[in-house]
Amino acid sequence: MPHILILGGTTEASALANALAERGVRATLSYAGRVANPRPQPVPVRIGGFGGIEGLVAYLRDAAVTHLVDATHPFAARMSANAVGAAAQTGVALLALTRPAWTPGSADRWRHVPDIAGAVAALAGPPRRVMLALGRMHIEAFAAQPHHHYLLRFVDAPTQPVRLPHHHLVVDRGPFDIGSDIALMRAHAIDLVVCKNAGGRGAEAKLTAARALSLPVLMIDRPHPPERTEVHDIADLLRWIDHTADLGV
């Protein structure tokens, strides 16, 4: 019987876990552990890193994993690279379930930067009211531009003080809707949105809200993924599982 290991932390990973549970397929969903209270899942869950590529190789072998699905965040570059390497070493079938990247429309005002450091550097200049739609991982990097007022939105309340001298923190869990994001940006007089090109529908509302308010967006481009096969649709992934299982992979 197949055993599917889902490298998760995204809405797509949760949707896949539900689809596999409905089919009665054995699956395990792995979280990196960055969210304190992840949503309940219909399959067994493991939380925490594997200890690099060697640890992932050991887990795949010990748990008799037959299929590895990389459904991590598009910016989880190290985990994706480890998945490719571990699959190659063990012969476990690998497929990435990814979100198409966002693309700007004619009414959008995007400026692209390659990474967090590029976003921090782009904030040089007079004080602004900035919505940092990045989660909590990279917030401290923006202390290098302390003269701005930052609006932060975290899934969980921080356990340590946020080291930004001027900020307002909202603790909330998405997906968010356009109307509430417009209201949030207006309430805090936001004049710039900073975000990663995560893709997907769950986090897209802030971009539609920025467009409606004619706000510029500082868009952090995705890292280049390792060479691998990707699909964007769960139905395609389920067909892949069926096909590889029939072949005895």
What is the SS3 string spanning the chain? Answer: CCEEEEECCCHHHHHHHHHHHHHCCEEEEEECCCCCCCCCCCCCEEECCCCHHHHHHHHHHHCCCCEEEECCCCCCHHHHHHHHHHHHHHCCEEEEECCCCCCCCCCCCEEEECCHHHHHHHCCCCCCEEEEECCCCCHHHHHHCCCCEEEEEECCCCCCCCCCCCEEEEECCCCCCHHHHHHHHHHCCCCEEEEECCCCCCCCHHHHHHHHCCCCEEEECCCCCCCCCEECCHHHHHHHHHHHHHCCC
Q: For the chain, give the longest Cα–Cα distance.
A: 61
Residue 37: which of 203, 159, 200, 194 has the closest Cα? 159
User: Tokens 């923190």 correspond to what residue?
Assistant: 169
What 3-state class would DSSP assign to 59?
helix
Q: Would you tell me which CATH number, out of the four given (3.40.50.720, 3.40.50.800, 3.90.79.10, 3.40.50.450), belongs to the domain 3-98+224-246?
A: 3.40.50.720
Per the CB < 8 A criterion, the answer to whether 228 and 94 are in contact is yes
**pTM, rounded to two decimals:** 0.85
Radius of gyration of the chain (CA): 20
How do the pLDDT tens digits run along the chain, 249 residues long? 889 999 998 889 999 999 999 999 999 999 986 665 677 899 999 998 899 999 999 999 999 999 999 999 999 999 999 999 999 999 999 999 999 999 999 999 999 999 999 999 999 999 999 999 998 888 999 999 999 999 999 988 888 899 999 999 999 887 789 999 999 999 999 999 999 999 988 789 999 999 999 999 999 999 988 899 999 999 999 999 988 865 454
Rounded distance between C-alpha atoms, residue 136 and residue 59, angstroms: 28
Respond yes or no on whether the N-terminal peptide bond of residue 158 is cis (omega within 30° of 0): no
Question: Regarding the domain delimited by 110-220, which CATH topology (the fold level of the hierarchy) does it fall under?
Answer: Rossmann fold (3.40.50)
Specify the domain boundaries for CATH 3.40.50.720 within the chain: 3-98+224-246, 110-220
